[in-house]
Structures are given as structure tokens and as C-alpha cells.
Structure 1
Amino acid sequence: MNGRVGANVRAGARALRGLAVAILSVVVAAAAAAPVTLPEVRQALSTVRASEGSAVPAVQVVEAYLDENRDSPLAMAYLGSVRTMQAAKTRAPWKRLASMSRGFDLLDDAVDMLNRARAPDAVAAEVLLVCGITNASVPTVFRRGSAARANFEALLARAGFTQLDRANQARVHAWLAVLMLDAQPALAAAHLAQARRLDAAAADAVWNRRPA
């Protein structure tokens, strides 16, 4: 009985993931007829994170958005983020490395563009948040920790930081705690304490991902 229940649960999970990818494919098809919106870009990334399927439809959505918003550091940051997700879902090693490298270049370009532009506080905060979390989340072998720390520290210094919801503020402090743990343990502890004051669940979700 338990085996049948487990099989049914797994089948249901696969069906839900398939539905998420199917919905995203509909968004891609619609993008050919109408401009892609920022909420659709955010939804595309959320779908990739929740699905074991291909990231290609999400890449197409974000690329379509960037085509319509060439001067947007936020569009570039989201494309960089989804490119790293695509790399994680790619089996061929050379394709994985190429996609990851392209993602890093886009993230760095987004920050450079942001530093040259006068973006609204909320936009600047979202760019730095996307870049920081993406850089911090990739395997440490890619050595993106210093870039992630720079993103988060720049975000803390921006007025837009306080416009983020408490969960995202907590994630920023928690990631800084992870990134500073070895070199600056006292400062890391202070960031972790602040993160937990803001949102303990969000903080611990990040903290528990730190390397053993």
C-alpha cells in the first residue's frame, strides 16, 4: 500500500513539474506576439527553480524581455541568472561551462551598467539582489564569492535595501554571514543575528546551505 502511495505521489510531482514547463512554454509562444513583461520574467525564473525540466523556455522569455529593454540592467541580471540555471541543468560539460561563463559575464555587465546609470532605488536593489544571490548560489569552484559579497555590500549601502521585504533583507544578511564566516567570524555572526531578527526561516534556509 505504501509503495503504491509513494508511486502516486512521485507521479503527481512529475505531472506538476510538467504542467509548470507547459505553462512557461505558453508564455514563450505568447512573447512572439506581445512584449514580455517583468512579472513574466520573474515567473519564468520561479518556474525554472521549481522544475527539473529544461531552462530553455525561461531563457527565451528573458532574452525576449532583454531585446525590448536593451538599456535595462535588471533585464541583463535576470538573463545572467537564468543562464546559470540553464548551466546547472545541462549535461554536456563544455555546454555547461559555456552557459555558466555567459551567465557570469551578464551578471557583471548588469552591475557595470547599474553603476553607470541612474536607476530608481527599487530597480538597483533588485539588480544587486539577483546578482548577489546568483553569484552566491553557484558552486564554490567557480569562485564567485567575492562578486556576491560585493553585490550584497553595495545593496546594503543603497536606499533601496529597506524597500525589500523582510525575507529578502534577511537573505542578504544571511548570505553575507556565509561569505564572511571564515575570514571575519564576528562580523558573520552579527549578520546572521540580524538576518534571524528579520526573518528566521529565510535566514536559516540560506545559512543551512553553507559548505560543511
Structure 2
Amino acid sequence: MALEAIKATKMTAEITLAIPTNGVPREGWTPEDACKRLEDRGADVVGLNCARGPKTMLPLLKKIRKKVEVPMAALPVAYRTTVREPTFQSLSDRHCDYIPRDHPFPIALDPFTCNRFEIAEFGKAAYDLGVRYLGVCCGAGPHHIRALAEALGRKPLASRYSPDMSKHYIFGSAKGLRGAKELREHHLHYADQLRHRRGAS
């Protein structure tokens, strides 16, 4: 129905699906068959959006890529979903006893948030599959979007906010950091002392 409505306007029809925990869309087709049906009916772009994090979306994208020829889209949630808990709605937190209804979704997902490197790696892997419409859905912060763009060789205006670890007070290596070398050596020496003390006790 949505595809027909979009095509009637003569606009580009980009259709993405959110695949639930059981791995089967509401109509009962596999994700790859659903995307193939959309392609056959005139969708210009097909793919996945929301529900699944990078780890549980990527395997589905591989199957879809084998079935369709139109451009693909991929926008995972920025959460660490797993094979056992493949959607962010299905995540459980065994470390917290007082989440309402014992269910982190939707307002206690903090400990499951992906870091910027995970999103960047997803972007590169999806791009290698031929996915060209890339983004991040629920849970994404500016640093996730920026890391995704940078992983694909882009340099958005917001890249000026990307961390420059060469200026870090401990790990920094940039010239001109006043006292940085001495401070770094001091911290490393202190860390060694702590390790020796722990080993001796």
C-alpha cells in the first residue's frame, strides 16, 4: 500500500523494513523475499531500518543483497543486539533488578549503546555489500553519525568535533603540548607501580 502511494506521486520509492525478533515480517515472508517482492513491484530502494542493531542487521543485509538488484538502505539502531536478543525491544539486563517490567526497552537501554567504532565498522561492512543508503536509527548520537560518515571517507562539517587523541593529556603525542610528555611518563610510571603492588599482594 505504501509503495503504491509513493509511486502514485512519481517520487522515489525507498522502502525499509523493521524485522521483529522472530525474524519474519508481519506478512510472513523472509526479509529477503519481502524486499524482492518490493523490488518486483517497483521500489527504487529496499532495505532495513530500526529494530535491529549492527550485529543482527548485517546478516540479513547479506541475504537481501543476494536477492535484489536495486540500491539498498540500512539504518540499524545504535544498540548491541545479539543472536539471542536480536532486536532492541527484546534486550534484557541481568545486571539491573529494578527496571520496570524487567524490560530495558524503551527508556533503560543505556548499557547497550554501541560506541562510535562499532557503528563505523558496520558502515564499512554494509558499504562493502553494496549498501549506499546508510544511517543510524534509534539511540544514535551525533558522534555515531559522524563516525559513520568518516568511516566511509566523508568529512562532514562536524568532523571538527571528532576526538583528536594526539592532544590527550595521557595518550597525546602532538608537539607543543606543554608538559604532556612528562605527565604521560608520570602516569605510566604510576600505573606500573600499581601493577607491581597488586602482584605483590
Q: Same fold (TM over 0.5)?
A: no
Q: As a proportion of its length, which structure holds more helix? A: 1
Bigger Cα Rg: 2
Give the TM-score of the pair, scaled to structure 2: 0.31
Q: As a proportion of its length, which structure holds more strand? A: 2
Q: Point out which structure has higher relative CO (alpha carbons under 8 A, 6+ apart).
A: 2
Give the TM-score of the pair, scaled to structure 1: 0.30
